[in-house]
Amino acid sequence: MFNLERNEPCWCGSGKKYKSCHIRQDEEKLMPYQKQGYPVPNKNLILNQKQIEGIEKSAKLTKSILDEVGKYIKEGISTLEINDLVHKLTIDAGAIPAPLNYRGFPKSCCTSINNVICHGIPSKKDILKDGDIINVDITSILDGYYADMSRMYMIGNVSDNAKKLIEVTKECLMAGIEAVKPYEPVSKIGDVINDIADKNGYGVVRALTGHGVGLKFHEEPNINHFRTNTKSMIMVPNMVFTIEPMINEGTYDCYVGDDNWTVYTKDGKLSAQWEHTILVTETGYKILTE
């Protein structure tokens, strides 16, 4: 399994050879899925204890940065000011803001207001005003390890519709996390998220997904937040990925703006997103950015 040779060290970090440790369990639990055509993660996606500890430290820093940023988000500040604070806090902690210069992205975080689904570029022209909702998405690289997280913030007197959207989106995130179980397909995450969105008449963005993270910014598996019949990768212990549902007040349709980054709702209605970095454990999951 996982392209591991029998005499290689087991993925769990026990120090034992794979054949003397988890091989039997993996074969019993994964073979039925493989026979049905489900992909099994490559061994590079199964992290060792040192790598997990490194990601946990990065995740702790990422959370602390968002905690601090939340104290300053209010009516009248620009999204560039948010970016500059994220940048300073990250650099001062000895880390690197992963978004900066990633495939040409020009800033250190994403700031997505109202009908912006994600990848909003911070700007001195974008001033927060009463009634706005905003997602701040940051990824920190600490000692070479990545952790990714985003939160929603409400500015002043926010409409009941906006409040409900934010609350339901967070409910989607937490339900998706609860669906994380070893030796189950990742598609179960999207199933439960889609059920909640459908119940509330919302659209689940399909053009963007969660993703593997930790040793790289983005890698396998892709985590769809919507229902799909595709045979998706099987979750196994020591995998790390994000769950980050983007839920629209209206249709799931979206488009990318002229800056080639900012993603907007096609109908102009509101969108919300929450995100955590998740570790798959032998019994379930651990939220690393909590």
pLDDT tens sequence across 176-185: 999 999 999 9
Confirm whether 18 is domain-assigned: no
pLDDT digits (tens, 9 = 90+) for 90-128: 999 999 999 999 999 999 999 999 999 999 999 999 999
Categorise residue 283: left if φ over 0, alpha if ψ from -120 to 50, beta otherwise: alpha
The answer to the question of residue 257 being in a domain is yes
| Residue 212 bridge partners (DSSP) | 219, 241
- Give the structural domain span for 171: 43-287
Q: How many residues does the chain have?
A: 290
69: CATH: 3.90.230.10
Tell whether 114 is covered by a domain: yes
Residue 9: inside a domain, yes or no?
no
Rounded distance between C-alpha atoms, residue 147 and residue 54, angstroms: 10
Cα–Cα distance measured from residue 201 to residue 219, given in angstroms and rounded to the nearest whole number: 31
pTM of the model: 0.93
How large is the C-alpha radius of gyration of the chain? 19
For residues 123 and 216, give the distance between their C-alpha atoms in angstroms, rounded to a whole number: 27
Residue 243, H or E segment: strand 240-243
User: pLDDT tens-digit profile of 196-238?
Assistant: 999 999 999 999 999 999 999 999 999 999 999 889 999 999 9
Asked, for residue 8, whether it belongs to a domain, the answer is no
For the stretch 16-41, pLDDT in tens is 888 888 888 888 888 888 888 888 88
Provide the mean pLDDT of the chain.
95
User: Which of 35-44, 54-63, 188-197, 198-207 comes out lowest in average pLDDT?
Assistant: 35-44
Q: Please name the residues in contact with 144: beta carbons below 8 A apart, sequence gap of 6 or more.
A: 54, 215
CB 222, CB 239: distance < 8 Å: no
Question: Are residues 277 and 147 in contact, defined by beta-carbon separation less than 8 angstroms?
Answer: yes
d(CA 96, CA 63) in angstroms, rounded, equals: 14
Distance (Å, whole) CA 114 – CA 44: 38
Residue 12 has pLDDT above 80, yes or no: no
The pairing of strands 240-243 and 145-154 is unpaired
Q: How many Cβ atoms from other residues are within 10 Å of residue 60's Cβ?
A: 16
Q: How many CB atoms lie within 10 A of CB 6?
A: 9
Q: Residue 199 has what pLDDT? A: 97
Q: Indicate whether 195 belongs to any domain.
A: yes
Residue 1 has pLDDT above 90, yes or no: no
93 in Cβ contact with 85 (< 8 Å): no
Q: Residue 60's closest CA among 49, 68, 48?
A: 68
Q: How many helices (H) does the chain have, and how many strands (E)?
A: 5, 15
Q: Decide if pLDDT at 192 tops 70.
A: yes
Structural domains counted in the chain: 1
At residue 60, what are phi and psi to the nearest 5 degrees? -60, -40
